[in-house]
Amino acid sequence: MQDDEAFRREIRDWLAANLTDDVRGAGGPGRENEAFPQRLAFARRLAAAGWTTLAWPVAHGGRGASLTQQVIFHEEYAKAAAPSRVDHIGTTMVGPTLMDHGTPAQQRRFLPALAAVDELWCQGYSEPGAGSDLAGVTTRARLDGDHWVLTGQKVWTSLAHVADWCFVLARTEPVPDGGPRHRGLSYLLVPMRQPGVTVRPIRQLTGDSEFNEVFFDDARTEAGLVVGRPGDGWKVAMATLAYERGAATVGQQIGFQRDLDDLVALARRTGAATDPLLRERLTRAWIDLTVLRSHTLRSLSAPQPPPGNPSVVKLLWTRWRQGLGELAMDVLATGGDDRDAERWHRLFLFSRADTVYGGSNEIQRGIIAERVLGLPRQARR
């Protein structure tokens, strides 16, 4: 195994040689359409150097990097202001899911294209009537000969307008009488570029439209493209969500630190840093982010992650980021140029969604209450 400091030098040197100004700092929450062709090209350069599959086992074409090295990579990537990854859904969610739950044929078909960033993916979970209540999905799939036929609607589907494939949670069996609703769901791999799939962008508060509605009208996918057994999709879907929350959260938090550092610099330029209340809020933001980072590193290094930890981390970072957006508005009120205003307005507006997507904070509190603290299950209609 390569020495960790030598590994850090390797990724730092690679980024210094390959990161160009046309992608530096591009993309991210609320800006996923920014410089997309350039970011895709950069992702393919990353892939050619073996960085996109850093955490994958060597047997599946990865580098088999240790957790420490994965953290180092995300630290250096964020510190260099490298662009938001366009392949993250495929390489961090779909790839590990197929390694653990896919058939050998599915692995042969999809893993090489994922590793090379030749195919992009989106996630077909949320629906208009089933967002955080994922077990309530109503998109249906029926087996017709050697194909599944899908009918239904998904919503808030990030990057569906550029994706080649979607992993879709669909109902393939009726809800059993009196039984749990998560029974009878299947996890299907569906090609996006076909007549039965319609993608409609959703315009956000920021004016951008990086997520979409997706309509399936007798869309088709091969019978062999169900991951796991038919009707067992809930287990596979939950595994995918677990893969999403890994070492990359460290890079996310370094991005938060960069935002905070820039806001402090703005406060100094405008004189807001002399206001004792604003200075105290900036200090509190630094303390809370330090605590979040320490908790994340401790959790990642634990032999067994603490129960409910993904929900705890989601609550912590979303509240922190929304608070930073609100603080930025108060700092801006003391002065700042138009460039400053555009950036911080975008952060403030987009962070309103942080507590909703990826499982709303209300749902996360319910998970902690019921599954960690053992409190009575909340009454549901």
Catalytic residue numbers, as ranges: 244
**Nearest CA-CA partner of 134 in 273, 243, 234:** 234
Show the tokens assigned to 239: 């595994």
Q: Which of 229, 217, 156, 155 is nearest to 190 (CA)?
A: 217
Sign of CA dihedral 165, 25, 51, 246: negative
Q: Which residues pair with 124 in a beta bridge?
A: 168
Contact criterion met (CB below 8 Å) for 78 and 254: yes
Report the SS3 class of residue 149. strand
Radius of gyration for the chain, computed over Cα atoms and rounded to the nearest angstrom: 21
Residue type, position 59, single letter: A
**Which helix (H) or strand (E) covers residue 168, if one does?**
strand 165-171
Cα separation values, 356 from 2, 329, 363, 371, Å: 40, 21, 9, 20
DSSP state of 232: B
